[in-house]
Amino acid sequence: MKFHTNTSAGLILLSFLFCSGQKERTFGPGLLKNVGSEGSRSTVAMQIPLVFVPGYKGSELFRKNESGSLDAIWLTPWQALNFSAPDLTLRKNDSVQVGEVLSSVTLIPFLIDVKVYQPWLQWLSTSVRIRPYVFPYDWRKDNGETSLALEAFLEKVQKENAGVAPVLVGHSNGGNLALSVINRRPNLASKVIFVGVPFRGGIGFMEDLISGVSTGLNPEITSACVVSSFISVYTFFPREGSFDTKELLKDSDQKNIPFRFFNASDWEKYELGPYSHEAHCEPPPSLKEFQSRLDLALSFRNSLDPKKGNQYPPVLVVHAKNRPTMRVLMPEKNPDHWLWDFKNAQRAPGDGRVTFTSSIPPDEIVYQSFLSDAEHSSLLSDPKVWERIYSFLHE
């Protein structure tokens, strides 16, 4: 998520800051807000039902406070400006509730305004031939659990549309969720559009688990130790002996490290994730606890393997290969510790987050390809992508 400012003096204008919590809220999956169920659009029977599944960090999250009301914990302007850093650590029964798909975050009007999915959602809502639904979800949780919830939602949408299966659009992690569902139930989607999806896994997400990635001006809200508690993030890494990406780690002599991403002891041995010195996770999770996270993530990744005999719906893949994207991670030379050098990692063509080769579906999936010039988080903000999607819907 990227924040842009037109002037360095903008941050002094905090009196213009307005909180996203002022508007009326919608919670959970359903028809896209501002799209009426009757009368406000063309006849439902003439429309194409479409379900959008956002990526990692692409849904609002709320938590019940002591009074029983809901506080926004992802993402408000105050949090992006580092005036507030709620604890997003994933815990059982943490009373977190999903809001809407994250549309935009306005820090200072006309100066700092981050369009997340707003352009895409606005395009959907004004396309009279499309009946758009959204599937926001708790992106910290086990993707296997979320995949089952998506399956149930697709069944509901199909019933609401006289048995017509919806078009399924998944961005990034949302695309992996979509693939998991159609592997089980290919009849639940009439067409599928995958946008910037890390089908084959990669190493780029390791930076989030070691150095941490700031959200706006806030380095704490998604710090490395917080992110390491999320089960979903481990599904971005590859398996052995599968269609997944190979050879992602090398030692200081450029020799490949046969790393097992779903074995907790390897993470501890090579000081990765919560076991790295840079992450400062005190205390780090026990190997047993960490292995339980990896086991859930592996189970989900296994659900991405296509099933023999499946008849898949038509597929469009939107991806990019015009930006250097992390491909191989190597350590600094240090006799005492494994200190991983993200700055000098080997890079390959991609969208800046997902390499082009990782964005290619498993071999069993027949697909059409469309290349965008946009970076990963902005792929669905590209008008050329909208045009290609519209054309694909009517093929």
pLDDT at residue 17 above 90?
no
Q: How confident is the model at residue 13 (pLDDT cuts 50, 70, 90)?
A: very low
**Phi/psi of residue 46, each to 5°?**
-90, -5
Strand runs labelled E in 18-118: 30-31, 48-53, 59-64, 70-74, 96-101, 104-108, 112-115
Whether 38 is in a domain gets the answer no
Task: List the single range of 111-120, 132-141, 179-188, 341-350 with lowest mean pLDDT.
Answer: 111-120
Q: What's the rounded Cα separation, in Å, for the pair 393 and 358?
A: 25
CA 143 to chain centre: 11
pLDDT at residue 295 above 90?
yes
Q: What's the rounded Cα separation, in Å, for the pair 327 and 248?
A: 6
pLDDT at residue 2 above 60?
no
Q: What's the rounded Cα separation, in Å, for the pair 182 and 185?
A: 5
Write the CB contacts of 76 (distance below 8 Å, at least 6 apart in sequence).
Answer: 19, 20, 21, 84, 105
pLDDT at position 114, please?
Answer: 83
Q: What's the rounded Cα separation, in Å, for the pair 374 and 272?
A: 30
Q: What's the rounded Cα separation, in Å, for the pair 242 and 234?
A: 16
Residue 60 CA neighbour count, 13 Å, CB half: 24
pLDDT in tens, 169-224: 999 999 999 999 999 999 999 999 999 999 999 999 999 999 999 998 999 999 99
- Mean pLDDT over 160-172 rounds to 98
Whether 28 is in a domain gets the answer no
Q: How confident is the model at residue 112 (pLDDT cuts 50, 70, 90)?
A: low
Q: Report the number of distinct structural domains present in the chain.
A: 1
CA 385 to chain centre: 18
pLDDT at residue 278 above 80?
yes
pLDDT at position 16, please?
Answer: 30
Angular region, 125: left φ>0, alpha ψ -120 to 50, beta rest: alpha
Whether 248 is in a domain gets the answer yes
Arithmetic mean of pLDDT over the chain: 91
pLDDT in tens, 363-386: 999 999 999 999 999 999 999 999
CB count within 10 Å of CB 321 equals 15
- Mean pLDDT over 286-315 rounds to 98
Whether 36 is in a domain gets the answer no
Q: Report CA Rg, the chain.
A: 21
Whether 39 is in a domain gets the answer no
- Confidence (pTM): 0.92
- Residue with tokens 């996270």, as numbered in its chain: 293
Q: What's the rounded Cα separation, in Å, for the pair 162 and 211?
A: 49
For residue 222, the enclosing domain spans 45-393
Q: What's the rounded Cα separation, in Å, for the pair 309 and 244?
A: 21
pLDDT at position 12, please?
Answer: 29
pLDDT in tens, 18-29: 333 345 567 999
pLDDT in tens, 78-102: 999 999 999 999 999 899 999 999 9
% the chain with pLDDT above 90: 83
Q: Is the dihedral of CA 30, 145, 319, 49 positive or negative?
A: negative
Instruction: Provide the terminal-to-terminal Cα distance of the chain, rounded to the nearest Å.
Output: 33
% the chain with pLDDT above 70: 90
**Phi/psi of residue 140, each to 5°?**
-85, -25
Distances (CA, A) of 138 to 50, 54, 143, 217, 313: 20, 11, 9, 23, 27
pLDDT at position 6, please?
Answer: 35
Whether 361 is in a domain gets the answer yes
Whether 153 is in a domain gets the answer yes
Residue 275 CA neighbour count, 13 Å, CB half: 17
Task: List the single range of 105-109, 119-123, 253-257, 272-276 with lowest mean pLDDT.
Answer: 105-109
Write the CB contacts of 44 (distance below 8 Å, at least 6 apart in sequence).
Answer: 38, 131, 161
Say which CATH number the domain at 135 has.
Answer: 3.40.50
- Residue with tokens 């919670």, as numbered in its chain: 27
pLDDT at position 42, please?
Answer: 44
Whether 37 is in a domain gets the answer no
pLDDT in tens, 42-88: 455 689 999 999 999 999 999 998 888 999 999 999 999 999 999 99
pLDDT at position 220, please?
Answer: 96
Distances (CA, A) of 231 to 68, 146, 179: 27, 11, 18
